[in-house]
Chain A
Amino acid sequence: MRYVEEFNDPALARRLLDDIRATATRPWALMEVCGGQTHSIIRHGIDQLLPDGLELIHGPGCPVCVTPLEMIDKALAIASRPEVVFCSFGDMLRVPGTDRDLFRVKSAGGDVRVVYSPLDAVRIARRTPDREVVFFGIGFETTAPANVMAVHQADRLGLRNFSMLVSHVRVPPAIEAIMRSPECRVQGFLAAGHVCSVMGLAEYPPLAERHRVPIVVTGFEPLDILEGIRRAVHQLERGTHRVENAYPRAVRDEGNPAALAMLAEVFVTTDRSWRGIGRIPDSGWSLAPAWRSFDAEHRFQVTGVTTEEPAVCRSGDVLQGLVKPHECEAFGTLCTPRTPLGATMVSSEGACAAYYHYRRLRPAAATARAPQDAGSTEEATPVG
C-alpha cells in the first residue's frame, strides 16, 4: 500500500514541527474533529511533540461515542428479537445502553454479527430470506455512502427482509454548535479528511467566515496531522480564517458527486441527539420517506423508545474541549474501558479511551529514562 509509509517519515515530521515551533508565537487551541485523528495523535504521541501552549482539543468525531443512548436501546430491543440478525460495526457492540450492550444480547442468544460493510448485511439478507436482517447504520458522512448503497442494493434486489437502523450524524452542524457554545475555546479546526472526500468543501467556508476560524481539511497519518496543524497555526498567526485543503490526495473541492447524488436521494437531514451533548438541529440523516420501508425503527416499531441520559460523567465537557479526559474525577478509577461511564471511554476512538490507553501512565519518567534503555538495547543488538 502506498501513501502510508511516506506519511510516517520522522525526518519530515521534524521539519514540520520545527516550522510549527518557529511560527507559533502564542498559545492556540485547535480541535481535531475526527476520532480517527484523535487516535492517530495519541497513538503517535503527536500532542507531546507540539510546542507548549499549542493545544489539541479532541472533538466529537467518534461516531460510536456520539450515538445516543436512546438509539443504542433501540438497537438492543431490535437485536433481542428472535427473528432478527443484527449486523453492526465491531466497536458498537461494547457501547452500553441503559442496562446492557450488544455483547450481552449476543450472550443471551441474540444473533448479533460484526460486519465490515453494510453490503455484507445485504448479502446475509439474500442468503437468509427467512430472517430479518438489520444493519446498524451509524457514522459520519464517511460511512454514509456505503450505507445508502446498501439500501439501494436491497431495493434493487427486492429484499423485503433487510432494514437499517439509521443514526447518521453530520460534521458541519456539530462545528456550528461547538462554536456557538458560550464557553467555546476552539480557535481553529482540523476538519475530517474522510468526511470531506465524500462531501467536498462547500459546507465549510460559511462556518469559517461566520466564526472567523481557520478550517484545515486534514488527513490521518502523522505527517497529515502535523501539516494540518502547521497550516492552522500559520493562519492563526496571520489572522486569517480560510478553508484549506491539506489532504488533496483524497479530497476534491466538489467531493464525490456520485456519492452525493445517492445521499440526496436516500437520506434527508434531521435533528439528531448526540450522546453527551444533546440535540443539534439538522445534524443527522435519516431515510427519506420514499425509503421508509427499509427503516428498522418503523419496521420494528421502536420509535417510541425514549431514554433519558443520566448526568454522571463529564464526557460532554470533554467533547467540547472544556476539560481533558484525565481531568475528570472518574477517569481511570470509576471510568475505564472495562466499565465506561461515558461514551468517550467506549470506542478506542473516543477521547477518554484514547487517553486511557495511551496516556494513563504519566510518561514523564519513562521518556526521561527510555532513551538510556534504548541505548543499551541498541548496544545489545547488532541489527535493529
Chain B
Amino acid sequence: MADTVLDPSAWTCPAPLREQGVVVMGHGGGGALSAELMEHLFAPAYGNDVLADLADSAAVELGGTRLALSTDSYVVRPLFFPGGCIGDLAVNGTVNDLAMSGARAAFLSCAFILEEGTELEVVGRIAQAIGAAARAAGVTVVTGDTKVVDSGHGDGVYVTTSGIGLIPRGVDIRPQRAAPGDVVLVSGPVGMHGIAILSVRESLEFGADVTSDTAPLGGLVSSMLEVAGDLHALRDPTRGGLATTLNEIAAAAGCGIVIDEHRVPVPEPVANACGFLGLDPLYVANEGRLVACVPAADAEAVLAAMRAHPCGTAATAIGACVADHPGGVLARSRFGGTRVVDLPVGEQLPRIC
C-alpha cells in the first residue's frame, strides 16, 4: 500500500433509497414506519376525530356512557415462550390498551386465524390460556370467530382480540395531556418480554433467565386512579419498547421528556442479552408494563400505590416532562452526558459487533 494517497474530494457516498411502495416488516414494528402507515394511509381513509388521537384505545361516547374500545392482532413466534403464550398476550394486550385510557376491560372478542395442519392440541392450549388470562384480568370473552388458511399461508395461529370497557366518570387519560413538570413513572423492569421471545427463537436459542412480563394492568391502573388527583397520560410500552412510548407521549403532548437512563430498571439478564445481541433495552418490547405521566404533586402517592400492587412492585420514577425540545426525548447517562432517544425507524436491528 506504499503509494496510496487518498483524495478526499473523490470520496463519495451512495444515492438515497427510494421507497418501493410495498409493505416491509418495519411497517408492523411500532416505530416510525408504523406511525406513517397509520397517519398517511389508514387515518385519512377512515377520517374521524377519535382515530386522529392515535391512542392505544379509542374513547367514545355511546348512550351517555364513555367507553374505551380497542383491537389488536397477535402474530408472535414462537407461540409459546417463557412466561406465557400468544393467548396470554392476546388477552393482556387488549386489556392493557383499554387500561391506558383508565378503562377497566369488561368484554372481549377473540378471533383465530389458523393455518391448516396446526395441531388441535396447540389451539386447545392457547384457548385454555386465553380463558385463564381473561379470568385473571376480570374480563369475559363473549364472542369470537375462526378462519383457516391454507398450509403455508399462515404462521400456525394468529389471534385478534377486541375489547370494550367503561371509562370512569371524571377520568381523562390521554398522551396529549402530559405536561411539563409531570413526573414520568415506569411500573417495573423493562425489556423482559422481547428478550424472553428472542431467547427461544429458532436459530437463536440462548439461555437467558428471563420470562415474559405479560400481565393485565387494569388492576394496577385502578389502584393508581384511587390515589391520583389527575393521571395525565398512561401508555404500555409494547412494540418499540420504552423509547417508542416516550416518543409517542412527547409528540402527542408537544412537550419534551428527559429521563435518567440509570434509573430505568433493566434486569441484569436483559442487559446482558442486549449487550451481546447488539440491542438497546429501551427499544425492547414489554407486555406487562406501563408508563405514567403524573403531576409532580401526585407522583409520590401514585408511586406508592403502584408499589403496593403486584404488577408494580418495582415501579420507579425515571424522569420528567419538560418544556424544552418539544416532541423529543433525551436520556442522561450516569456520567452526565446526554443522548437523544429517538423513535426507531422500523424493527430494531441487531448491531454486528
- Residues of A that sit less than 8 Å from B by CB: 1, 4, 8, 10, 13, 34-36, 39, 42-49, 63-64, 69, 89-94, 96-101, 103-104, 106-108, 113-116, 120, 123-124, 138-140, 142-143, 173, 176-178, 180-183, 194, 222, 275-278, 280-283, 309-317, 319-320, 322, 334-335, 337-344, 347-349, 356-361, 363, 365-367, 369-370, 373-374, 376-378, 380-384
Contact = CB atoms under 8 A, between A and B. Distances in A.
Given A322-B8, A341-B13, A374-B260, A381 B320 contact: no
Contacts of A278: 6-7, 10-11
A316 B322 CA distance: 37
Interface centre among A142, A176, A369 (most CB of B within 10 A): A369
A45 B345 contact: no
B16 interface: yes
B6 A44 contact: no
A96 B350 CA distance: 17
A301 to B, nearest CB: 24
A277 B9 CA distance: 10
A359 B324 contact: no
Contacts of B14: 69, 96-98, 275, 309-310, 312, 341-343
15 contacts: A90-B352, A94-B345, A101-B17, A103-B24, A143-B353, A178-B6, A180-B4, A310-B13, A316-B11, A322-B8, A338-B32, A376-B181, A377-B184, A377-B299, A384-B316
A276 B183 contact: no
Contacts of B332: 45, 367, 370, 374
Interface residues of B, number: 70
Interface stretch (B163-171, B211-219, B221-229, B334-342): B334-342
B335 A376 contact: no
B18 interface: yes
A359 B339 contact: yes
A36 B353 contact: yes
A335 B5 CA distance: 29
Given A13-B335, A45-B336, A180-B4, A108 B11 contact: no
B296 interface: yes
B142 interface: no
Contacts of B351: 36, 39, 90-91, 347-349
B203 interface: yes
A177 B13 contact: no
B277 A116 contact: yes
B23 interface: yes
Contacts of A92: 352
Given A44-B335, A380-B183, A63 B353 contact: yes
B22 A311 contact: no
Nearest to A142: B353
A376 B320 contact: yes
A42 to B, nearest CB: 6
A68 to B, nearest CB: 9
Interface centre among B303, B319, B352 (most CB of A within 10 A): B352
B268 interface: yes
B26 interface: yes
A309 to B, nearest CB: 5
Contacts of B8: 181, 183, 316-317, 320, 322
A140 B323 CA distance: 44
Contacts of A69: 14
Contacts of B353: 34-36, 63, 139-140, 142-143, 194, 349
Given A1-B275, A104-B20, A222-B335, 9 more contacts: A1-B268, A4-B272, A114-B349, A116-B204, A276-B11, A349-B351, A360-B328, A374-B319, A381-B300
B11 A90 contact: no
Given A107-B24, A338-B345, A384-B316, A370 B4 contact: no
A211 to B, nearest CB: 13
B48 interface: no
Contacts of A316: 8, 10-13
B125 interface: no
Interface in B245-269: 256, 258, 260, 263, 268
